[in-house]
Chains A and B, each alone.
Chain A
């Protein structure tokens, strides 16, 4: 069964350093999502791509976070500089079509970030 791939699985960094996460969605999936899940809370959407275009980045802290999906396939999420409050699990998800509300989103295993 096809899966969403993410790397690294775990990342420990010091505050003010730069970190980057990578996601490879299920082949053929047009829509890619990055969510952040703080311990004890549900995931929250950071950014959504339709192919290579950003559809929604309203909750992305743009002063320090950036995301790209240059060829409309895999994606990178970057944080620079990292802050203590960025410690969380970063989840990537993908769906086949153009983000219809009924479509199933498939989640990757996540990247667990700890900022010291």
Chain B
């Protein structure tokens, strides 16, 4: 079983739609969680950290459910520029090593 699991998609949505991605993790010792965005043939870039209390950054909302061991990302009012792969990431104590899911691809259509 993969340590971090995501639905690879692709998710095809029209502009203006609301879309949500979920991600599950297998290790209850996981400490920190992030969403990274990766454009085609580019490096991953940090989108946002994920906290137990949930956090929001503009049109993006991230939630963490430790009891069920899943993380979610909600994107409201999708833009064409949101088209990318969204990587769910966890870390555990000690080294800061990032453990990535395989990514979920989002295509926003006009």
Q: Mark B66-102, 1 if CB is under 8 A from A, else 0.
A: 0000000000000000000001010111111111111
Given A107-B43, A107-B44, A109-B43: A41 touches B94 (CB 8 Å cut-off):
no
> A31 on the interface (CB 8 Å rule)?
yes
Interface residues of A in 96-111 (CB under 8 A from B): 98-105, 107-110
Which residues does chain A contribute within 8 Å of B45, judged by CB atoms? 107
Q: Mark A50-63, 1 if CB is under 8 A from B, else 0.
A: 00000110000000
Top 9 A-B pairs ranked by shortest CB distance? A42-B100, A99-B96, A107-B43, A101-B91, A101-B32, A99-B95, A101-B31, A42-B102, A41-B102
Using A100-B96, A101-B94 as known contacts, list a sample of 13 further A-B pairs with CB atoms less than 8 Å apart, ordered by residue number in A: A33-B97, A40-B8, A42-B101, A42-B103, A43-B44, A43-B98, A45-B97, A98-B96, A99-B96, A104-B46, A107-B45, A109-B42, A110-B42
